[in-house]
């Protein structure tokens, strides 16, 4: 932090009332119509916070309502199986969130009698709940004086206080947390303050084209005063994403298709998907080796799908086969698989590119 440490930054800004400005702005101009805002139900707030991790609000809205229709309470979610939960997350991405969500619900049911603890430290110890999410739940559901530091809030603080360096790492991250805690309102208003910080980052202090004219903090914002909005927060240096290539086998018997359950750990963990082959593998030989008789092959359009750390390029090939179930799927667990009618297959919890491919085949 080139301008000073958080300890000296905060008192200087307190003359303008950082927390008071955020609270007044949120009550007047913040978001108030999101479905998880009109409640202090910890379950619904927790669900929204997990879904919103690395995901835009517009993408979450439909998933949130569908999820609550099927799992309206924590006890209902805890009583479900993971197989029942995953279809309601399929397409939202970052599937470890869904597995942790389910595990967290079961742990809360057993350890806390189905009631969320209000202590941020206890919340943070639960599966899938980090420090910022724990702070958001504690503040919004229980009125606890707890700080948050998600991506939106890091951007607001970095610009207003001129914080440089990687806000996700080491000393800079520790100082940012110290600053976030020092800025908390001393009296009432932790709910609108917490929501206000989120709203400012999401709707005003955006990464591109921020609306400084609408920001209640603009008059004291170091990034605006020093014309460094484009420089803050400092962009993380990312290595170029490598491309991984593989072949997908679309095995069909009449109107049925073969799907496999992926291992719980790893990419698309716990979802249903298509068998995979190395590009160098002999497709016909591989299929015969698995106890099936291939009758015809058809190359399908190449699919590219981006992950955080790599790009997947898949080469699907549709194969009409005769035989029973692929031997390798019976002998190894996981993965395990089954023949499904194509319409039924599309209702499974599928990775988005696989779901899109099967829907195209349905047409």
Q: Is 211 in the same domain as 247?
A: no
Q: How far is residue 185 from each of residues 19, 188, 189, 313, measured CA to CA in Å?
A: 5, 7, 7, 49
In SS3 terms, 250-302 reads as: EEEECCEEEEEECCCCCCCCCCEECCEECCCCCHHHHHHHCCEEEEEEEECCC
Q: Is 213 in the same domain as 261?
A: no
Q: Is 349 in the same domain as 208?
A: no
Better pLDDT: 343 or 146: 146
- For 7, other C-beta atoms within 10 Å of its C-beta total 11
Q: Is 252 in the same domain as 322?
A: yes
Residue 48 scores a pLDDT above 50: yes
From CA 23, how far away is CA 196, in angstroms rounded? 6
294: β partners = 321
pLDDT in tens, 190-223: 999 999 999 999 999 999 999 999 999 999 999 9
Residue 118 scores a pLDDT above 50: yes
Please report, for the domain that includes residue 275, its CATH number: 3.90.79.10
Residue that is last in its domain, among 179, 197, 225: 225
304 lies in some domain: yes
- pLDDT confidence bin for 71, thresholds 50/70/90: very high
Mean pLDDT, the chain, integer: 91
Domain hosting residue 210, numbered range: 6-225
Q: Is 25 in the same domain as 162?
A: yes
Residues taking part in catalysis: 49
Q: For the chain, what is the domain count? A: 2
237 lies in some domain: no
Handedness of CA 191, 37, 153, 46 (dihedral sign): positive
**pLDDT given at position 86:** 95
Q: Is 210 in the same domain as 61?
A: yes
From CA 79, how far away is CA 244, in angstroms rounded? 38
From CA 287, how far away is CA 14, in angstroms rounded? 69
216 SS3 class: coil
Residue that is last in its domain, among 225, 255, 282: 225
Question: CB of 135 within 8 A of CB of 120?
Answer: yes
Question: Residues 256-268: what's their mean pLDDT?
Answer: 91
Nearest-Å Rg of the Cα atoms of the chain is 24
Better pLDDT: 186 or 149: 149
314 lies in some domain: yes
- pLDDT confidence bin for 38, thresholds 50/70/90: confident
Task: Tell whether omega for the bond before 285 is within 30 degrees of 0, i.e. cis.
Answer: no
> CA nearest 227: which of 215, 212, 217?
212
Residue 233 scores a pLDDT above 60: yes
**pLDDT given at position 259:** 95
Residue 328 scores a pLDDT above 60: no
* Residues 332-339: contacts with CB under 8 Å, at least 24 apart: 334/261, 334/262, 334/263, 334/264, 335/260, 335/261, 335/262, 335/263, 336/260, 336/261, 337/258, 337/259, 337/260, 337/261, 337/275, 338/258, 338/259, 339/253, 339/256, 339/257, 339/258
Q: Is 331 in the same domain as 255?
A: yes
- pLDDT confidence bin for 168, thresholds 50/70/90: confident
**pLDDT given at position 362:** 86
Tokens coding 92: 């939202």
Tokens coding 241: 């994403």
Q: Is 206 in the same domain as 250?
A: no
Residue 291 scores a pLDDT above 90: no
Residue 59 scores a pLDDT above 50: yes
From CA 1, how far away is CA 350, in angstroms rounded? 44
Q: Is 212 in the same domain as 129?
A: yes
Q: What phi and psi, each to the nearest 5 degrees, are found at residue 313?
A: -115, 115
234 lies in some domain: no
Q: Is 218 in the same domain as 247?
A: no
233 lies in some domain: no
In which region does residue 49 sit, left (phi positive, over 0), alpha (psi from -120 to 50) or beta (all else)? Answer: alpha
Tokens coding 62: 């439909």
Please report, for the domain that includes residue 208, its CATH number: 1.10.340.30
98 lies in some domain: yes
The secondary structure of 40-79 as a DSSP string is --HHHHHHHHHHTTTS-HHHHHHHHHHHHHH--SHHHHHH
- Please name the residue that has the structure tokens 């969500």: 101
Question: CB of 195 within 8 A of CB of 19?
Answer: no
88 SS3 class: helix
Question: Residues 103-127: what's their mean pLDDT?
Answer: 98
Residue 12 scores a pLDDT above 60: no
Q: Is 258 in the same domain as 177?
A: no
59 lies in some domain: yes
From CA 280, how far away is CA 246, in angstroms rounded? 9
From CA 7, how far away is CA 178, in angstroms rounded? 8
The alpha carbon of 288 is separated from its chain's Cα centroid by a whole number of angstroms, namely 40
Residue 5 scores a pLDDT above 70: no
Residue 226 scores a pLDDT above 80: yes
Question: CB of 139 within 8 A of CB of 45?
Answer: no
139 lies in some domain: yes
**pLDDT given at position 333:** 41
> Considering the entire predicted model, what is its pTM?
0.87
From CA 222, how far away is CA 163, in angstroms rounded? 9
Residue that is last in its domain, among 225, 252, 278: 225
Q: Is 79 in the same domain as 216?
A: yes
Element (H, E) at 28: helix 18-29
pLDDT in tens, 310-327: 999 999 999 999 876 775
Question: Residues 234-252: what's their mean pLDDT?
Answer: 89
**pLDDT given at position 334:** 43
């Amino acid at each position: 932090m080139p301008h000073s440490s958080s300890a000296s930054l905060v008192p200087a800004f307190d003359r303008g009332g950082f927390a008071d400005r955020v609270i007044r702005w949120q009550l007047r101009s913040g978001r108030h119509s999101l479905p998880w805002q009109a409640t202090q139900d910890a379950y619904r707030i927790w669900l929204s916070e997990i879904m919103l991790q690395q995901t835009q609000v517009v993408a979450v809205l439909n998933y949130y309502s569908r999820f609550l229709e099927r799992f309206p309470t924590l006890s209902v979610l805890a009583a479900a199986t993971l197989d029942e939960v995953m279809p309601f997350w399929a397409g939202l991405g970052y599937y470890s969130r869904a597995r942790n969500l389910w595990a967290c619900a079961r742990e809360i049911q057993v350890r806390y009698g189905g009631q969320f603890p209000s202590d941020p430290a206890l919340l943070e110890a639960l599966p899938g709940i980090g420090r910022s999410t724990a702070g958001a739940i504690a503040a919004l559901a229980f009125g606890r004086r707890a700080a948050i530091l998600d991506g939106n809030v890091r951007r607001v603080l970095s610009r207003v206080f001129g914080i440089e360096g990687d806000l996700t790492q080491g000393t800079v991250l520790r100082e940012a947390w110290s600053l976030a805690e020092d800025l908390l309102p001393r009296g009432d208003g932790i709910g609108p303050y917490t929501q206000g910080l989120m709203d400012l980052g999401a709707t005003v202090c955006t990464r591109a084209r921020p609306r400084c004219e609408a920001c209640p903090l603009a008059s004291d914002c170091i990034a605006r005063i020093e014309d460094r909005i484009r420089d803050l927060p400092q962009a993380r240096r990312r290595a170029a994403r490598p491309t991984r290539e593989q072949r997908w086998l679309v095995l069909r018997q009449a109107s049925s298709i073969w799907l496999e359950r992926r291992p719980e750990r790893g990419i698309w963990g716990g979802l249903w998907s298509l068998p995979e082959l190395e590009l160098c593998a002999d497709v016909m030989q591989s299929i015969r080796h698995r106890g099936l008789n291939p009758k015809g092959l058809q190359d399908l359009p190449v699919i590219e799908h981006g992950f955080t750390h790599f790009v997947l390029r898949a080469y699907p090939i549709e194969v009409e086969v005769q035989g029973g179930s692929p031997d390798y799927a019976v002998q190894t667990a996981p993965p395990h698989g089954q023949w499904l009618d194509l319409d039924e297959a599309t209702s499974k919890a599928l990775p988005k590119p696989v779901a899109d491919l099967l829907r195209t085949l349905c047409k």
